[in-house]
Amino acid sequence: MVNAPDRLVLVRAKVARGLSERHALTVIGISARAPRYEPAAGRNKGIVALAQQHKRYGAGMIYLKLRQAGEVVNHKRVDRLYDEKKLQVRRINRRIRRAQ
């Protein structure tokens, strides 16, 4: 399956060959608004800054802190950012030694 950025490249290639943009979008199967979409910049800065400020907090606690501050945040976004930026707190493996 081809992802959205790759489909936009296909649309631009078809337009370069002389096909209209609307017809190329219809052929590829994406909406007319897709080529003009620009993601909102800076939505993740608050999450990353808070995570770096509180290094011992996990994704769940950061999510709660953001919600308490009045920000509308999705917990899946916080989890994804934690994975991408490698912000997870490392677990310490403690061996349980049996008494002999």
Residues 61-72 have pLDDT tens digits of: 999 999 999 988
pLDDT band of 1, cuts 50, 70, 90: low
Angle, CA 77 vertex, CA 75 and CA 79 arms, to 5°: 70
Distance CA 84, CA 28 (A): 30
Contact 46, 66 (CB under 8 A): yes
> Given a cut of 80, is residue 53 above it in pLDDT?
yes
Contact 52, 85 (CB under 8 A): no
pLDDT higher at 75 or 96: 75
> Given a cut of 70, is residue 46 above it in pLDDT?
yes
Side chain identity at residue 100, one-letter code = Q
